[in-house]
Amino acid sequence: MKLNIYYAGRGLIDDPTIYVINKMQEVLEELHVRVERYNLHEMKNHITTLPGTLKEADGVILATTVEWTDMNGWMKVFLDACWFYGDKSKISTIYMVPVVMSTTYGEREAQLSLINAWEMLGGKTCRGICAYVEDPVAFEMNEGYRLIIEKQAEDLYRSISQKAKVLPSSTIAIKQNILKETMDFTPQESEQLSRYAADDIYVKKQKEDIEELAGLYKNILENKKAENKQPYVDSFEKAFQSTKKIKAVYVLDIEDKKRTLLIECQNGRLKCCYTEDNISADVFARLSSHVLEDIINKKTSFQASFMKGDMAARGDFGLIRLLDEVFVF
């Protein structure tokens, strides 16, 4: 039988959690159980790889100390790693005993959090040890407390060896019914991902790559914005028939864009740009961007838009008819 202990605390000498798991380890080893302990505060850079240590485990003790509120942060990181990288089919066969010792308040809430998390992972839970300790020395010297701890270790041994049945939990039902869309990885993929997540060099390189891509896309967006500052100009330049020798100045007021497009034709040359100046023009026209886009996309023409009233114009009406000849979209 193999059992793993995951301790989440600061490793202080007077930490009552250490006393409890030491006693439980002594009892289990007397029963010929192989016990391996993982001190999470000493392995904080490799916690994401720890779900791989569950492969050969028949049971686990999740031990945490509440010194402020709720469980220790390293235990949360470990449980997150189990969720993302752990082999759920293997976890479903593992019995878990929560050990929560508090020097402040909240030991029962932390124990419930551990139980809910393990059941959400699909594992089996056993009755744990949960207590408030005001004086660590008095707690360790209390013979009655020692007997309770040793009996709990014996009960854990019996549960694992006899493969004790566990009553169904609503937490498991939630996992099965609501979280069906969670992406499942094979144990090999999960282990590989966990090693990548624990590799500081790899993570740093990934962050650098993401920043580089973000910068690249930012430049692309900025270039597109710069291009969009002159919409329709390219279309007019491409459609311009330089063989048409006319001399005219057109001003198109694009109402919904609140911009004025200047088109100047001078003996086969074209000047097309946006302007905010009041310019004397041969033809002044007012239309919407939708009408202008329809003209550019060959759905209609300047003359047809003028006749239908989609474009208002004043000036030399003969030059309005020439627009469709000078600009062939």
pLDDT higher than 90, residue 25: yes
Q: How far is CA 86 from the centre of its chain?
A: 19
Q: Residue 107 in contact with residue 100, Cβ under 8 Å?
A: yes
**Cβ atoms within 10 Å of 65's Cβ, excluding its own:** 28
Give the pLDDT confidence score for residue 211 in this predicted structure: 80
Q: What percent of the chain has pLDDT over 70?
A: 86
CATH topology assigned to domain 2-198: Rossmann fold (3.40.50)
Q: Higher-confidence residue: 287 or 182?
A: 287
Instruction: Find, among 122, 127, 119, the residue nearest to 99 by Cα.
Output: 127
Q: What percent of the chain has pLDDT over 90?
A: 54
DSSP 300: S
Instruction: Find, among 46, 52, 45, 47, the residue nearest to 192 by Cα.
Output: 52
Region of residue 256 (left: phi > 0; alpha: psi -120 to 50; beta: else): alpha
How many angstroms separate the CA atoms of 4 and 38, rounded? 8
Give the pLDDT confidence score for residue 74 in this predicted structure: 92
At 316, the pLDDT band (50, 70, 90 cuts) reads confident
**Collapsed DSSP state (helix, strand, coil) of residue 78:** helix
pLDDT higher than 60, residue 93: yes
Q: What is the mean pLDDT of the chain?
A: 86
Give the pLDDT confidence score for residue 17 in this predicted structure: 96
Domain residue ranges in the chain = 2-198, 233-326
At 216, the pLDDT band (50, 70, 90 cuts) reads confident
* Helices 143-161 and 16-30, axial angle in degrees (round to 10): 50
**Collapsed DSSP state (helix, strand, coil) of residue 280:** coil
At 207, the pLDDT band (50, 70, 90 cuts) reads confident
Q: What share of the chain is helix, strand, coil (3-state, %, to 5)?
A: 50, 20, 30
Q: Residue 36 in contact with residue 2, Cβ under 8 Å?
A: yes
- CB-count exposure of residue 303 (10 Å: 0-12, 13-18, 19+): middle
Q: Does domain 233-326 have CATH number 3.30.1050.10?
A: yes
Cβ neighbours for 48, distance < 8 A, ≥ 6 positions apart:
77, 81, 84, 85, 194, 195, 197, 198
Give the pLDDT confidence score for residue 276 in this predicted structure: 84
Give the pLDDT confidence score for residue 311 in this predicted structure: 92
How many angstroms separate the CA atoms of 291 and 254, rounded? 9
Alpha helices in the chain (DSSP H): 16-30, 73-85, 88-91, 107-120, 136-141, 143-161, 170-177, 187-198, 200-228, 233-239, 289-296, 302-308, 317-326
How many angstroms separate the CA atoms of 51 and 196, rounded? 13
Q: What is the pTM of this model?
A: 0.58
